[in-house]
Amino acid sequence: MNETTTFADSAGATARPRGNRPVLEVEKLRVEFPTRKGTLRAVDDISFHIDEGEVLGVVGESGAGKSMTGTAIIGLLEPPGRIAGGEVRLEGERIDNLPYEKMRRYRGARIGMVFQDPLTSLNPLYTVGFHLTETIRTHSDLSEKQARQRALDLLSEVGIPAPERRIDQYPHQFSGGMRQRVVVALALCANPRLIIADEPTTALDVSIQAQIIRLLQRLCREHGASVMLITHDMGVIAETADRVAVMYAGRIAEVGPVQEVVKNAQHPYTEGLMGAIPTIGGTHEDLVQIKGSMPRLTQIPSGCAFHPRCPKAFDRCRRERPELMPAGRSEAACWLHDPAEKGRRRGNG
C-alpha cells in the first residue's frame, strides 16, 4: 500500500477526517549508546501513539531524549546509537527493523521531517527548485516538467511570494523564515502521513515563528498529516498540539490533552516546569524553581529519575520505577497516582 502513493492532485488532497486509527505507534522504545564508560540509555522504554490528523507535542529540557526519540523513529540514529528494544509501527507496519534501502524510501514519502536549522537542512550548492524536484521525483514517477510545476505549487502553498523567480535561487538568497518555509515544502513533497518537526521554530524570531506554526497547522489539516512536534517551548505546544508528552531523563513523565497538562499538571515535574515559565500578565513574584538540574545519562537515579529533585518524593520513588498510570484526565508516571498509594495515604492521614 505504501508504494502506491500517487501524486495525482496531491496538492489539493481532500482533507482526511480525523480518525482514531493511530498513524504512529511506539511501544517500549529504547535507544542506547554503548560507550567506554558503559551503555547509556538515551530513551528508556517509552510508549506513545499519534492518531490520524493529530498533533502530538513532545516537550522537555535539553537531554530529555525528545530529539533522540524522533531520530529513532525515522531511523536516522547516528552510530553507535541504536534501537535496543521496542517497536515502532507506522500505520500498523513495523518500521524499526526495516532494511536500510526500504527505510530510505519511506523517509520523505511516508514520514516527512522538519529540522531546527533551515540552513543546514538545505544544500547550499543546489537551488531550492532542485531540492524540491529531486525529492518529488525520488518518490514518484512525475516527469521533470511535472515535478517542477508541483514544486512551484508547493512553494506558493507555503507562502513564498513570486515562486517562479524564487525557485531558481539558492538557499542563501532566502531569509531564515523563508528557508524554513522551503523546508516545510520539502517535507510535504510526497504527502507523508506523519511529519516529525524537531524544534521547527527555535531558530526564528517570534513574528516569523508565529507564521511558521500557523503554516504547519494549516497544511497538516489540509493534507491530513499527523505531526510529532518536538520543542522545548511550552507556549508553542499549548497553541499547536492536541496532546502533549512531557519527557524527563529519557522517559515520558506525563502525557495527556494539552489543556490538562498545562493547567492541571499531574506529575510534580510538569507542575514545576509550568511554574518555571514566566508569563505575560502574571505576577512579578519569583518563579517556581525546580532545584538541581537534569541528571546526566551516566548518573540516572534509581527508581523514578526525578526523585532527587521532587518535593513530594517518598520512599517508594527511590526504589521502584513508576510506569505511566491514569492520573486525572492524563497519564503520569508517578507513584502519587498509584491507587494503592492513595489508599495508604488516606489511611495514614
Partner 1 sequence: MAEVAAPQGPVATGETLLSVRDLGKTFDVSAPFLNRVLQGQPRVHLTAVDDVSFDIPRGSTFSLVGESGCGKSTVARLVVGLYRPSQGRVEFEGTDLARIQTRRQMAPLRRKWAMIFQDPYASLNPRWRVADIVAEPIRYHGLLSGGQAIRTRVGELLELVGLSALDGEKYPHEFSGGQRQRISIARALASEPDFIVCDEPTSALDVSVQAQILNLMKRLQRELGLTYLFISHDLAVVYHISDYVGVMYLGRLVEWSDARLLFSNPRHPYTRMLLDAIPDLEMSGRARTPVGGEVPSPIAPPAGCHFNPRCPFADERCRSETPMALKVGVGEVRCHAVEEGRLPEPESA
When the beta carbons of 194 and 212 are compared against partner 1, the nearer one is 212
Is 4 or 299 the residue whose CB approaches partner 1 more closely? 299
Q: Are the C-beta atoms of 256 and 331 separated by less than 8 Å?
A: yes
| Nearer to partner 1 among residue 190 and residue 238 (C-beta) | 238
Which one among 122, 228, 230, 274 touches partner 1, defined by CB under 8 A? Answer: 274
Query: In what helix (H) or strand (E) does residue 215 lie, and over which residues does it extend?
Result: helix 206-223
Taking CB under 8 A as the binding criterion, the range among 49-57, 107-115, 287-295, 314-322 that sits at the site for partner 1 is: 287-295
C-alpha cell at 199: 524544534
Give the nearer residue to partner 1 in terms of CB position, either 147 or 229. Answer: 229
Report CA torsion sign: 109, 111, 114, 115.
negative
**Minimum Å distance from CB 211 to partner 1?**
7
Q: Any alpha helices (H) in 84-157, and if so which ranges?
A: 100-109, 118-121, 128-138, 144-157
Binding mask 227-256 for partner 1 (x = CB under 8 A): -----xxxxx-xxx----------------
Contact yes or no for 221/17 (Cβ under 8 A): no
Contacts with partner 1, 289-328, as mask; x by CB under 8 A: xx--xx----------------------------------
Query: By CB under 8 A, which span of 116-124, 136-144, 172-180, 220-228 interacts with partner 1?
Result: 172-180
Count of residues that bind partner 1 according to CB under 8 A: 44
Q: Is the peptide bond before 80 cis (omega within 30 degrees of 0)?
A: yes
Identify the residue among 39, 97, 123, 259 touching partner 1 (CB under 8 A).
259
Residue 268: HSE in the Cβ half-sphere, 13 Å Cα cutoff: 19
Report how far Cα 185 is from the mean position of its chain's Cα atoms: 18
Min CB(328)–partner 1 separation in Å: 18
Least distance CB 327 / partner 1 (angstroms) = 20
Q: Map 37-64 to HEC letters.
A: CEEEEEEEEEEEEEECCCEEEEECCCCC
In the complex with partner 1, the residue whose CB is nearer, 199 or 233, is 233
How far does the chain reach from its first CA to its final CA, in angstroms?
A: 58
Residues across the chain:
349
Site for partner 1 in 189-228 (CB under 8 A): 205-211, 213-214
Q: Is 300 helix (H, G, I), strand (E, B) or coil?
A: coil
Q: 99 or 281, CB closer to partner 1?
A: 281
Give backbone dihedrals phi and psi of 165, rounded to 5 degrees, phi first. Answer: -85, -40
Longest Cα–Cα distance of the chain, Å, equals 75
Residue 251 CA from chain centroid, whole number = 14
329 is a site residue for partner 1 (CB under 8 A): no
Q: How far is the CB of 240 from partner 1 (least distance, A)?
A: 8
CB nearer partner 1, residue 282 or residue 311 = 282
243-248 vs 55-59, strand pairing mode = parallel
Instruction: Output the smallest distance, CB 309 to partner 1, in A.
Output: 9
Residue from 37, 124, 286, 348 in contact with partner 1 (CB under 8 A):
286
Least distance CB 281 / partner 1 (angstroms): 7
Closest C-alpha to 86, from 67, 106, 72: 72
Q: Which residues pair with 94 in a beta bridge?
A: 89
Query: Looking only at residues 45 through 104 of this chain, which bind partner 1 when binding is defined by CB under 8 A?
Result: 61-62
Cell readout for 216 is 504547519
Residues that bind partner 1 (CB under 8 A): 61-62, 175, 177-178, 205-211, 213-214, 232-236, 238-240, 258-259, 262, 272-282, 284, 286-290, 293-294
